């Protein structure tokens, strides 16, 4: 279970921003609210059509903004390679909220990452490199597929994060067998929670995010 500090709900619309990463920029949609927590939602693999407009990051941001958190969803700059560039993207979005600017206090002081598919593995790895991260959520990890496509061993090691973790998978997930999910989940340290969604496939988890996130955060 992930315990959030007291929030101050307020109405706000998403705003489009450009966030500097190295010598380039990434596109993001952010909600800035009077909350210490920013929720960063990450999307599935871009080369297969994934983007911040996927319903999973959209739903995560909507639910958590309604809870009073600041939120951010963004497009990875590439998604190619061994995942290092995408981890840097997550860290840059976190820094946009965590670092002071123009003599003003930071927008947020704590980060919660909600990742889906490719973005779930990247988000979990990035959390270990963000000192202000208070937890992460993995939705539909493409674990069986990632073993062959990416630097999965290194990413899995970074995901061994000793703060609250929520992992969700469908029993019909096309990219993560239940045995692979079990191996991954068992390798992670406490605190952790699993939610196994009977009959759900990789692409239909977003319908369960509202209640699952609400049950997990307090």
Q: Report whether the peptide linkage leading into residue 191 is cis, meaning its omega lies within 30 degrees of zero.
A: yes
What is the C-alpha separation between 214 and 195, in angstroms, rounded? 13
What is the average pLDDT score of the chain?
Answer: 89
pLDDT for position 5: 53
CA separation (Å) from 95 to 72, 107, 118, 132, 162? 12, 10, 21, 10, 21
Measured between alpha carbons, how far is 218 from 207 in angstroms, rounded to an integer?
20
- Inform me whether the pLDDT recorded for 16 exceeds 80: yes
Q: Percentage of the chain with pLDDT > 90?
A: 74
What confidence score (pLDDT) does residue 2 get? 57
d(CA 47, CA 138): 20
Backbone phi, then psi, for 86, in 5-degree steps?
-70, -35
CA proximity to 44, closest of 209, 206, 208, 213:
206
CA-to-CA distance for 106 and 35, rounded, in angstroms?
A: 11
pLDDT of residue 81: 53
> What was the pLDDT predicted at 126?
95
pLDDT at residue 3 is higher than 70: no
Contacts of 86 (CB under 8 A, 6+ apart): 76, 77, 78, 79, 118, 119, 122
Confidence of residue 46 (pLDDT cuts 50, 70, 90): confident
94: helix, coil or strand? helix
Concatenating the DSSP letter of every residue in 109-139 gives SEEEEEEETHHHHHHHHHHTT-TTEEEEEEE
| CA-only gyration radius of the chain, Å | 16
């Amino acid at each position: 279970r992930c315990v959030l500090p007291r929030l101050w709900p307020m109405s706000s619309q998403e705003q489009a921003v450009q966030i500097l990463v190295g010598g380039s920029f990434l596109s993001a949609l952010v909600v800035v609210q009077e909350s210490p927590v920013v929720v960063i939602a990450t999307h599935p693999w871009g080369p297969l059509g994934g983007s911040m407009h996927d319903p999973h990051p959209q739903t995560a941001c909507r639910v958590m903004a309604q809870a009073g958190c600041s939120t951010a969803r963004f497009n990875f700059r590439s998604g190619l390679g061994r995942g290092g560039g995408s981890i840097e993207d997550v860290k840059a979005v976190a820094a946009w909220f965590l670092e002071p600017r123009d003599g003003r206090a930071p927008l947020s002081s704590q980060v919660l990452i909600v990742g889906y598919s490719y973005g779930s593995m990247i988000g979990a790895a990035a959390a270990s490199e963000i000192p202000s991260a208070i937890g992460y959520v993995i939705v539909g990890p493409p674990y069986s597929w990632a073993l062959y496509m990416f630097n999965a061993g290194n990413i899995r090691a970074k995901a061994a994060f000793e703060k609250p973790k929520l992992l969700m998978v469908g029993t019909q997930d096309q990219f993560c067998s239940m045995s692979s999910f079990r191996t991954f989940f068992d390798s992670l340290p406490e605190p952790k929670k699993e939610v196994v969604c009977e009959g759900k496939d990789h692409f239909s988890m977003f319908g369960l995010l509202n209640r699952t996130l609400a049950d997990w955060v307090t």
